[in-house]
Amino acid sequence: MEKYRVRFAPSPTGELHVGNARTALFNWMFARHHGGSFILRIEDTDESRSDLSYQISLFNDLNWLGLDWDEGPQKKGSYGPYKQSERLEIYKNHLQKLIDANLVYPCYCTEEELEEERQALILGKRMPRYMGKCRNLTADERKKCEEEGRKPSFRFKVHPQTIEFEDLIRGEMKFEGESIGDFIIVRSNGMPAYNFAVVIDDHLMGITHVIRGEDHLSNTALQMMLYRAFGFAPPTFAHHCLILGKDRAKLSKRHGSVSAGEFRKQGILPEALINYLGLLGSSFTDGREVLSRDEMITGFALERASKSGAIFDEEKLHWLNAIYIRNCKTEDLVERLKPFLEQAGYIIDNIDAKWLSEVIELVKTELTSLAEIGSHIDIFFDDKYEITAEAKQILEKENAAQVVKAFSEYLKTAAGNPQEIYLAAIKYTKEKAGTKGKELFMPIRAAITGKVHGPELDKVFAVLGKDVALRRLKPFIS
Ligand code: GLU
């Protein structure tokens, strides 16, 4: 048996949350670091909440992030099926084993009865848990319940005991069985409960390390009981901290974007998101923040993962994204930008490819996300060119008209290399209008680009050409 087999086991009940993406990433890095296997298992036994569309978007998101799985749906593997809804027979057989060993019992309590019990316990200031009403029903009592048409769930008998395990991130963990009520392992609709299915699958799939969020710690206590009941050796556990919002509450929609898909739509590059999530709540060797996939794999160590929650900082993600965009080869970047350009109303087929590359090369240092492209590239398109209020203000200032006039004057007769023309025109304007610094450059920028910020003006000028510049300067000459 392989020494390192880990899994990512999402329930397809929603879009891939960055918290889950990070869990997938930790498992993936662990597998790649140790040369082990990364398995994808779909936990879709909650029929009312699972949806095929979520499964499809999950595959898309994992593919987009480059978290390739070695076994799982769409892949071969000797431990399938890898979808829980296709493993029902296996769970049934395992339930029978526990029934035969007298470790479980049918429970006929209805939802309403259970809720009543819960409320009564809360009122009495006691820990809400199942008090074992159906644990010792006689055969007759069971028969009666069946005759009433009640469908049983199956509960695991919890005995007073201490559950201990060593967590790779959190160290020694201890739970008292006394506070845990008999828990459901198979629901009344015949579907396995999470804790039951997960133990069987992790065991049968030869999972050696279970790496997941700390919100599963209390589940692990229950799962340990099931490992013991089946006589299975438990895997090694590692529960990483969760991602929190700035208010230290679990990161949720009210904090803003939370799914991988949302970040993709915003134009975050997958390599930036991977870098960000990989370092979030875990420190790497030399404090570096920009790490390639390979560097992250080499430096990955669960032991370095933090125990306290990791605060999600969207600004930092954009900062990293800007670095990845800047470092992206322009020809690749053009390809990646195409859908965003289309979305912003640019018709790619109508744009000269070489010219587009030049423009992207110019603006790429200004982007913190791909989706921003439309509002940076507009200065190069006559039909998108617009004077912003700030630019207008600049152009209404004293001297502005003079600057624009002198600059235009020089351009009219100039010929040759655009960058040289630009420099000479600036020199001319400086003398003619008697201005320098901002007063000199800002009116020219404002008129030529319609904006007060943007790429280096000489380069913008070179791309636009003299004629376009002259046309844009004209209305501001009084
Ligand atoms: N399906 C569970 C979830 O999405 C898996 C938890 C686990 O990794 O065991 O939370």
Q: Best mutation site among 212, 222, 237 for ligand 1, i.e. most ligand atoms within 8 A of its Cβ?
A: 212
Is the bond preceding residue 443 a cis peptide, omega within 30 degrees? no
Q: Which residue is associated with the tokens 């002198």?
A: 406
Do the Cβ atoms of 210 and 173 come closer than 8 Å? no
Q: Is 219 in the pocket of ligand 1 (CB under 6 A)?
A: no
Dihedral angle, C-alpha 157, 163, 167, 170, nearest 10 °: 110
Structure tokens at 282: 């875990």
Whether 450 contacts 387, CB under 8 Å: yes
Q: Whose CA is nearest to atom 5 of ligand 1?
A: 9
The CATH code for residues 389-476 is 1.10.10.350
Q: Is the C-beta atom of 10 inside 6 A of ligand 1?
A: yes
Q: How far, in Å, CA of 214 to CA of 168, rounded? A: 12
User: 224-242 burial, b for 16+ CB within 10 Å, e for fewer?
Assistant: bbbbebbeeebbebbbbbb
359: Cβ contacts below 8 Å, ≥ 6 apart: 377, 380, 463
Closest ligand 1 atom number to CA of residue 10 = 4
What lies within 8 Å, CB to CB, of 97 at 6+ separation is 230
> How much distance in Å is there from the Cα of 219 to the middle of ligand 1?
10
Class in CATH terms, 87-240: alpha beta
Domain limits of the chain? Answer: 87-240, 328-384, 389-476
Give the residue among 473, 445, 471 at the shortest CA–CA distance from 457. 445
Single out the catalytic residue among 75, 253, 427, 474. Answer: 253
Residue 198 belongs to what H/E stretch? helix 194-204
> Ligand 1 within 6 A of 235 CB?
no
Nearest to 277 by CA among 317, 322, 229: 317
CA of 8 to the centre of ligand 1 (A): 8
pLDDT averages per 10-residue partition of the chain, 478 residues: 94 96 97 98 94 96 98 94 98 98 98 94 92 96 96 96 94 90 96 98 98 96 97 98 93 91 97 96 78 94 87 96 98 97 95 96 96 96 95 94 96 92 96 93 97 95 95 92
pLDDT score of 285: 62
- Nearest-Å Rg of the Cα atoms of the chain is 31
Residue 215 CA to ligand 1 centre (angstroms): 10
Does residue 134 have its Cβ closer than 6 Å to ligand 1?
no
How many A from CA of 7 to the centre of ligand 1?
10
User: Model pTM?
Assistant: 0.93
Which pLDDT belongs to residue 56?
A: 96
Q: Which of 27, 40, 49, 194 to mutate to test the pocket of ligand 1 (most atoms within 8 A of CB)?
A: 194
Cα(170) to centroid(ligand 1), Å: 18
Per the CB < 8 A criterion, the answer to whether 337 and 272 are in contact is no
Q: Which residues contact 108 (CB under 8 A, 6 or more apart)?
A: 134, 137, 142, 145, 146, 150, 152
Spatial CA neighbour of 331 closest among 350, 346, 353 = 353
253 is catalytic: yes
